[in-house]
Structure 1
Amino acid sequence: MKLTTTQSVLAELLETAKNGISTRPVDPILGSLLIEASDEGRLTVIGTDLNVSIKTTAITHILQAGVVALNAKLLADTVNNLGSGELDIEVSERTCVISHSTGKCRIVGGNPEDFPSIPETQNCTEITIPSKKLQAALEACLYCCSADETKLILTGVHFQLQGENWSCASTDGHRLALVSSKLEGNYSPISFTVPRRSLTELGKILSTTTENSSCTLKVGNNTVQFILPNAELTSRLLEGEFPHINHLIPKSFANELIVERKGMEIILKRISHFAEKKHKIVKILWEVNDQQATLITGNTDIGDAVDSLLIKTQTSHRRKYRYWAKQRLSTRSTQAHLNR
């Protein structure tokens, strides 16, 4: 393999692909990136931990096609510390030599034939979602996924499509987030759950996309592919039945309270230092008649804090009530609607 590329292009490819690698790979080859150079002038870099795979590509000057598997951390650290400019890369017998303006370095690689292949999605359903709409949906849902791996299905985000309606939801058993929107097209009913880690890495890729770009989803029985202009992410799907969240959200409420979001965030940050460190519980007293919310928290070892802000009410019964809430989520459930 022999090619010429720029330091910035190669560094960007490596930075994206290495996010698919586990911090503690179970096999040495899983700590490597597979680098392929094609006769068509396409440079491809792949990283995987067997559950999620990230593939990135770029057009560059290929002099000789080939493939090599190189240690991800060593390669990324090496390229990131090179000066900007052109790099000449030559691979012979699993050894990669990178020549730059002031010198060169040599990296000994592994056997590319030992690198696992990315699973192909068979009998798939294709869905097209605007990249920025998908990014916004993930930002609204990912924080509600459970971090407890024993909860299995709750460690992911659940997608549902029917006709032109699309939604994704997550819950850890205490909090719930739901995002709904409409798409162009008419899709047959389909639902699937994607692990949080896969979507976290997808979110990083989506943040680099342009405003008008789209993401194509290929959903199979066990895997899903997210295809973007210069990157592809393949993930396994979680098995099991996701909770029927629509049954958990009340259809009507005795009180509707409107809170200025920024003001609530500022108060929570201000008093959070006094909250008990493990559970971070904040007590909220909703004084409906006075149109005021009072936030109270404390720790017997360090002290306590009280703060308040004005609220607007749309109520059928005006009364005073209180409940306990997590610091990060001040209501029992949140529903976000993206109508872009």
Structure 2
Amino acid sequence: MFNVATPAQSLFPGLPRDVSVEIVEHMDVEHLVRLKQTCSLAEDYVAAVIHTRSRKLVDAHLQSYDRFVQMLDSCGAVVGGIGALYILFPYHGRPPFVDIFLPDHSYDAFMEYLAFEEGFAYRRVEPGSDTLPDDDEYSDEGSVDSDDDIVEFIFSQQAPHPALSTKPYPHGVSVMHRFSHGDPNEGAFCINLVRSTTSSPLLPITSELHTALFNYVSPRDFCSSYPALIQSKRALLTPSRLEDYRVPPKHLRRGVAAWARNGWDLAVLEVAYPDGGPCHGTRSTTCGAATRYFGDRYCTRGTVTPARTAENDTRACDNTITVVWWRGGLLCGPGCHAQRRKLVPGARMCLRAVAEGL
């Protein structure tokens, strides 16, 4: 995400440099991580393409991209949501907004930066409103009736429940603000700030609408938690955001419908897919009983800066703390977890050394 120039040397012998650049620019995070393990030149290419995608996402709307990245780094913030999805899987398209997740202690500093240095106007996003950051994949308009019809089709085997009258922020979220230079409803670019309830900016990501949003990109590293599902354009809805762990509440139906219209195959359980295969319980990637954490063996993860640059950087990314979660909700079968059919979802901060021993 920091400024990294594309190397002057071609990465692939026998091909022009421009062709090498074009090939790498079309790679998703799985291919980038494999590529960067081959040689130091490949690491430079990967760092450069992450920087290029990040700059394309926000540069046109900021007075200084470098200052923006500096603030992300000093505040311990990460780009998450659809913005991270675009950076790591560019074929899903560039969104008209960016979600930034911040630790509790540095949220105010980043707010002041956006308001006073960048000149953004802002407002608080209320819980349960139709404008929460994960409600829409793109500015995709549609009638309420058509949205409800799509959701009803997706969940045709499940009876809808009435919307909750009081809707707190999702787990791990303290408050959210939306910053923009115009009206987001009229297509103006905006930045959504999400304040964590803890010192980890990753905790709120575990309450995103579905698994395709369980990604982050920081100035120093990146991580995708469900890369195989994303590559097949599938996503599992987060049970803690659903009513009775099955049905999206009224205020989320427009967002669910927007993702469906954009070709995403949404489900509650992976075994619901025709080729989902048997569930392996706690050893599964997606089962509600499985304990996951950012950086585990199912994730695709890497550093942004080239290795030789990182060696001379005293501000290396702190990886001692991570966030552990289990999706919970409806389980695939009685064999998933002690014969239970439901499990209360959960997420919490954890020492990485402890998480690796789970």
Quickly name the TM-score band, shorter chain normalised: under 0.3
Q: TM-score, normalised by structure 1?
A: 0.21
Q: Which has the higher helix share?
A: 2
Q: TM-score, normalised by structure 2?
A: 0.21
Larger Rg over CA atoms = 1
Q: Which has the higher strand share?
A: 1
